[in-house]
């Protein structure tokens, strides 16, 4: 019995430490709330820079009553764990690509269908319109507030063995994908051997040759120095426009007083556009760095055969109505 009580005490202590809102008070006796924000990328990635800007603005506008601590490099967990953390109220704010969030909110899967958006502008218009609002509604049902839409750039394929110029070049290539059924199915259609795993495991898998390839935007290849993880070629396939979401745990939001809720939400809503601009600026620089580091960049990839090869995965999208509305909106 004593042992059980001790365990319960430890559990409650851990939960209270993990809980979003700190019980500290400031000099005027006002409660100070400390929120934890997490993401999976380095501390010079736009996810981090935007979150830091949000933290600064929130602290200033709330006179220090809300502090946001930002944790890069999956320090609070990989994207799937971070998403789960928000549903449990153990992580307060997250920026994540949509792919792993789909495991909690299947409606989002449509955004990860390859070549679904004609271009960045169309994607942003759709995300910031009625469809995006509906997707945020689905997110909220799972206890997560969607604050704004960001991005991580276009996803391209890197690999250790040869230039990939056409789908046949992917035959038998062992590629790490995100934990997302549509991505997995798309690479199967392309004849590759996909293995889904969290990004936290991907680097070791590339270094140890467990997989030969991965796919991510140029900024990730650059900031994680994938050229040092056997990646010699990058083909600019741009097969997925990697949508990211600035999100907040609904539980955390509900615990904040109304005046603070408004400020935090407003700042989170601004960050998507701020972050997207940074990505656009940094993407070109990253391709330059990858070249300087000796990576061969295959720039003029004819994407039509890739598009054709992955077309069957559109049938796997559960929410066909959403898929068709996205396609129709771009005609
Ligand atoms: O490939 C992934 O898992 C994601 O693109 C990453 C690198 C975690 C960024 O969102």
Percent of the chain topping pLDDT 70? 93
* Angstrom distance (rounded) from CA 132 to CA 127: 4
Give per-residue pLDDT as tens, 43-59. Answer: 999 999 999 999 999 99
- Contact present, 68 and 50 (Cβ < 8 Å): no
According to the model, what pLDDT value does residue 46 have? 98
φ/ψ region of 224 (left if φ > 0, alpha if ψ in -120 to 50, else beta) reads: alpha
Quick one: CA torsion of 264, 265, 270, 274, rounded to 10 degrees? 60
Structural domains in the chain, CATH included, are 16-328 (3.40.190.170)
Q: Please, which pLDDT band fits residue 2 given cuts at 50, 70 and 90? A: very low
Of 197, 201, 220, 229, the one to substitute when testing ligand 1's pocket (max ligand atoms within 8 A of C-beta) is 220
| Ligand 1 atom, smallest distance to 179 CA | 3
According to the model, what pLDDT value does residue 59 have? 98
> What is the value of pTM for the model shown?
0.92
Give per-residue pLDDT as tens, 258-308. Answer: 999 999 999 999 999 999 999 999 999 999 999 999 999 999 999 999 999
Q: 54: Cβ below 6 Å to ligand 1?
A: no
How many residues does this entry show for the chain? 331
| Ligand 1 atom, smallest distance to 96 CA | 10
Q: 97: Cβ below 6 Å to ligand 1?
A: yes
Who's near 317: CB < 8 A, 6+ residues apart?
109, 110, 113, 182, 323
- What does the block give as tokens for 252? 């955390």
Of 45, 102, 199, the one to substitute when testing ligand 1's pocket (max ligand atoms within 8 A of C-beta) is 199
Q: At what angle do helices 130-141 and 120-127 cross, to 10 degrees?
A: 60
Q: 178: Cβ below 6 Å to ligand 1?
A: yes
- Strand 93-97 and strand 33-38: the pairing is parallel
């Amino acid at each position: 019995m004593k042992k059980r009580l001790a365990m319960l005490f430890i559990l409650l202590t851990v939960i209270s430490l993990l809980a979003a809102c700190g019980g500290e008070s400031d000099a005027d006796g006002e409660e100070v709330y400390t929120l934890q924000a997490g993401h999976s990328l380095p501390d010079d990635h736009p996810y981090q820079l935007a979150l830091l800007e949000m933290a600064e603005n929130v602290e200033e506008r709330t006179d220090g009553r809300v502090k946001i601590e930002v944790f890069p490099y999956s320090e609070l967990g990989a994207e799937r764990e971070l998403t789960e953390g928000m549903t449990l109220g153990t992580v307060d704010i997250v920026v994540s690509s949509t792919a792993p969030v789909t495991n909690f909110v299947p409606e989002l899967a449509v955004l990860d269908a390859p070549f679904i958006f004609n271009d960045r502008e169309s994607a942003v218009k759709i995300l910031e319109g009625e469809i995006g609002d509906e997707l945020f509604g689905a997110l909220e049902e799972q206890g997560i507030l969607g604050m704004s839409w960001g991005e991580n750039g276009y996803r391209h394929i890197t690999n250790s063995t040869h230039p990939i110029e056409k789908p046949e070049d992917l035959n038998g290539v062992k590629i790490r994908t995100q934990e997302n059924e549509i991505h997995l199915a798309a690479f199967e259609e392309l004849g590759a051997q996909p293995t889904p795993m969290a990004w936290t495991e991907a680097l070791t898998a590339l270094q140890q040759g467990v997989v030969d390839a991965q796919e991510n935007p140029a900024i990730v290849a650059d900031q994680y120095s994938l050229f040092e993880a056997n990646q010699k070629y990058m083909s600019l396939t741009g097969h997925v426009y990697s949508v990211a979401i600035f999100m907040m745990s609904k539980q955390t939001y509900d615990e904040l007083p109304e005046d603070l809720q408004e400020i935090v939400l407003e700042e989170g809503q601004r960050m998507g556009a701020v972050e997207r601009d940074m990505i656009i600026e940094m993407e070109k620089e990253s391709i330059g760095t990858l070249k300087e580091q000796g990576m061969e960049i295959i720039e003029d990839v004819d994407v039509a055969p890739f598009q054709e090869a992955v077309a069957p995965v559109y049938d796997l999208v559960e929410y066909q109505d959403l898929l068709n509305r996205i396609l129709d909106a771009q005609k």
